[in-house]
Each structure stands twice: as C-alpha cells, then as structure tokens.
Amino acid sequence: MARTSRSSTSKWRSFHPSYYLKRPKRLALLFIVFVSATLVVWDRQTLVREYEDEVTKLHKEVGHLENLLEELKNVQGGTVRKLESGKTNNPSKREVPDDTIDIQRREKVKDAMLHAWGSYEKYAWGQDELQPQSKNGVNSFGGLGATLVDSLDTLYIMGLHEQFQKAREWVANILDFNKDYEASVFETTIRVVGGLLSAYDLSGEKVFLDKARDIADRLLPAWDTPSGIPYNVINLAHGRGHNPGWTGGQSILADSGTEQLEFIALSQRTGDLKYKQKVENVIIQLNKTFPADGLLPIYIDPHSGSTSYSPITFGAMGDSFYEYLLKVWIQGNKTSAVKHYREMWEKSMKGLLSLIRRSTPSSFTYICEKNGDSLYDKMDELACFAPGMLALGAVGYGPGDSQKFLSLAEELAWTCYNFYQSTPTKLAGENYFFHAGQDMSVGTSWNILRPETVESLFYLWRLTGNKTYQEWGWNIFQAFEKNSRVESGYVGLKDVNTGVKDNKMQSFFLAETLKYLYLLFSPPSVIPLDQWVFNTEAHPIKIVAGQGGENFGDLNEKQKQFFRLRGRKEGRSD
C-alpha cells in the first residue's frame, strides 16, 4: 500500500511546475519533449492535409475521366466501347488515354466521312465511284458498287449504323456479280471480297459472307494456269482469265500475291479449302526460286512461274506482295504453319535495306527502285506503306534488329510526311525523285487521295505511342479539307503545286484514308492490332484464335460456335 502511495506522490510531483523550476536540466528536457511532440503533431497534420489534397486531386481526375467517357459515349453512340475488346497481353500495344483533342479530331474525320458518304448517296448511289464536280456516278469497276462495299466497315467503325443498314439492304437485295465484265482480280479481291469479309466480321451479318463467297467463286478460274500463278483479269460471268495486253502476257507481282489474306479468311469462315489452296500455292511456287535478297521483279510468267526481267519496286505493282507476306504470318497467329511467310518477308527486308539511300543535304531516307544492277532515285507515294509495315514486323525480330527496323520505319515516315509538306498545297504528289544537293522533287504531280502515308502514321502511333504521328496525320487531314473538299464530296488534285482539282472521289478515300485517320485519333483498343489484321485496302479481318492457316474444320468447338452464331445473327437467311 505504501509503495502505491509513493508512486502516486512522485507522479503528482513530476507534473507540478515548481518541481522543474528547481531543476533546470529537467525543465530543458521537458521543453525538448514538448517541442518534439508538437512537431510530430504538426507533421501528422501536414501529412493529413497533403493526403487530403491528393485525394481531392484524384477525385477531380476521376470526375474528368468520367466526363470524357460520357462525352465519348455521346459522340460515338457506343460504337467505340462496343469495338473495344478489353486488355491484351500484347506488349507492343500501348493504352493511350482518349483526350478531348482526340475526340474532337475524330469527330472532324467522321464529319468528313458523312460529307463524302452523303454526296455519294445523293449523286451516285450503287455506282462504283462519285464524280463530285459533275455530280454523277460512274461504274469504273463494272457496277460492283465499289464505293458502297468499300465503305461498309468504315461506316460501322464510325458508328454510322443508319447508313450501314441502308448499305446492307442494297448489298442484300441489289448487288449482283453476274456481269459480263473483265474484272481486275486484285482490285476486286481487296475492295469487294475484303470489304464484304470485314463487314461480316464486324457485324455478323451472314449476307456479307454469302456475297463474298459468290464473288470469290467467280474469281477462282483466274488461278487455273499451268503454274498456279493467276491471270490478273477475269470475266465475272464466263470465267475466262487473261492478263492485260500492256504486260506482254505477264502476271503482275502485287496483283498475284495480294489475295492471300482474303481467301484464307474465306476458307476459315466457310470450311471450304479451295480458296486457301489456290492462293497459298502461289506462295509455294514463288518460294521455290525465291532469291536470297527476297526481291522479285514485277512481272511473272503464269505458264512457267518464273520471273521476267523487269523493275523491282516497293511502289506500284510490287508493294502489297511484301505486305501480305508479313500479314499472312500475323493472320496465322505466327505459328509454324505460316513460318515460311515470315522467313520470306525477312529475306525481302534484307533486300529492302540494300535499296535504302539518304538524300543531301537534308538526309531524307528513301527506297530506291531497281532494274537489273541499276538503282533509280525514285520513290512512289505508294511505297509509303513501308514504314507501317516495318513497324508492324519489327516486333518479330530480336531486340537489335527490332530497333533497327523500327528506326528505319520512323526515318521513312518522316520522308513520306515531307512528301506532303514540300508542296504548296501540303498534299503529296504521286512520286518523287531525289537529286544530289536538292533533296526531293515532285515527279508525277497529281494527288488522288491516297492513304499510304496516314496508314503508316497510324501504325507508328499505335506501336510507339508517339503523338507526333497524330499531329502529322492531323496536318494531312487539314490539307485534304482545304484542297480536296468540294460541295459534293472530295476530289483529287491534278497538280499539287497549283491545286487544280480533278473530278473523282476514289473509293479508297472512304475505305482507307478516312478510316486510318479516324483510328489515328481513336483508342488503341478499337480494332486492336493483336486481334485484327488489315488487308491492303484497310479492311480489318478478325484473326481466328489458335489458327495457323488451318481450315475451318480444324477449329475447336468454341470457335465453330462463334462463327455459326455470327452467321445466324437476327435469324436472317438472305
């Protein structure tokens, strides 16, 4: 009991001021303790305030993002959200926030599409192409509705569903391929077969698959040659194939090697192997004598399968052959079944390196053309697809080569962008020449609304996240708006120096140029590159999971059910 009392007395004394006044050291100690405690409390209060400030900032940011999302929903009518496919394991795909500027620019591109489509609908409905100046349509592709079919997936991706449904009804009820018309196998495949397959993959409407099969069946006799290298022209009604007279009876490289994506996809979706077999045999034949540098002349003998003495180019008549070597490998999920496509493509990229030159004084990187042992310092705007192709293919290399080809892609994209920036109209000519000490100069000076440069800017932005490519694309779009937009659509220029206009709205302006510009300002999860592959007419084709080029019969039950359900959507049989 006494111990308890002493303890209590001591405790009382220790809190009495007189106790410390008589003991200076203890007073100093108490002061130190008091100050320390005060500082701790102050620090905690400061931390709490800072924490509360951070929470407030985060709440504001969340509110801002929610507002953007709501605005995005209103702008797109839900289409962007519908096309987003969730997260991906693809390390090359970067998630880029969808900001207000992107939304506004995307809306401007959508407005351009509405202007182009509305003009076509008013003055050329169902015909192949619109002539905006004279306000009439022309059937430059035999009356296959080229602009309408080419635009289906663009309408769908942009959320223009009323326009899409009207176009769908025309396809279902009016589109007829039984025409006594000499059709380009290449153009019909990339625009019509590709357009219909893409519309099917996006919407699930079976009518598009049925129509794709109909036109593909009419094209198939073109491959009935001694070598399997197709004729490039076919009569759609009678199935007679031949080559243009101006080629001397030869088949064209790009025209013969740019059907693989579409016909393999058609076999996957129908279960009929004949489409896949015809187009893959072309690659088998070319691979038998494929050169070490992977560069093929543009003319091939359809009887022997051998190449003829002719130019080598990544421009007109060569370009998309190399593009499809890479893209079939991607379409086949990069498996062993399609390994030879990648191997051929890598050989061709070694060859491409041998064609690379740099101008003086500005060191613009460009791709030469070759004839025999001679190099020509000329590059087509068509070859401006190459930066996008190189960026897309770079991920298949090891780290060293990957960076080398990505850097090359970026250098070439800068050159292609300057094709536009170097003219008074800020629109590119058809081709350019390079002279020592003078850099680039326009050769053929027309512009027909081509997409290749914005295509590459799209790929580079998607794969690097560098917003510079968006800015370049926006500048090109504004140049189109300033120089090519007229009262009734869009036209090309007869001369990019004077700005004199022509009288044609190319179908690929709606199918490719505007689509790539729209996607350039859309979230990367809209048509993600690990789930879709674009044909050379910018028609996205869905990559079938687990497929390495196998036929539909090899699909697992889940995948079969996926396609069956898509084919039965809304119970339409059409």
Q: Is 319 designated active site?
A: yes
| Active-site residue, selected from the candidate residues 98, 150, 153, 187 | 187
Q: In this structure, are residues 572 and 207 in contact, taking their beta carbons and an 8 Å threshold?
A: yes
Strand partners, 184: 233
Which residue among the candidates 452, 512, 537, 550 is catalytic per the annotation? 452
Report how far apart the first and last C-alpha atoms of the chain are (Å, whole number): 103
Tell me, yes or no, if 369 is annotated catalytic.
no
What is the spatial distance between Cα 331 and Cα 323, in angstroms, rounded to a whole number? 12
Amino acid at 119: S
Active-site pick, 102, 255, 319, 323: 319
Closest CA to 478 of 97, 104, 71, 79: 104
Element (H, E) at 541: strand 540-542
Q: Which residue among the candidates 98, 201, 410, 430 is catalytic per the annotation?
A: 430
222 touches 231 (CB < 8 A):
yes
Per the annotation, the verdict on 430 as an active-site residue is: yes
Q: Is 187 a catalytic residue?
A: yes
Q: In one letter, which amino acid is 117?
A: W
C-alpha separations of 343 from 339, 383, 444, 508 in Å: 6, 21, 35, 30
Q: Please, are residues 335 and 341 in contact by the beta-carbon 8 Å criterion?
A: no
Tell me how crowded residue 3 is: count the other CB atoms within 10 A of its CB: 7
CA atoms within a 13 Å half-sphere pointing along the CA-CB vector of 435: 5
Distance CA 348, CA 47 (A): 61
SS3 content of the chain, % helix, strand, coil (to 5): 55, 10, 35
Task: Report yes or no: 352 and 314 within 8 Å, Cβ to Cβ.
Answer: yes
Structure-block tokens of residue 460 = 């580079």
Any binding-site annotation on 444?
no
- Residue ranges of the annotated binding site are 536
- Residue ranges of the annotated binding site for Ca(2+) are 536
Active site positions, annotated = 187, 319, 430, 452
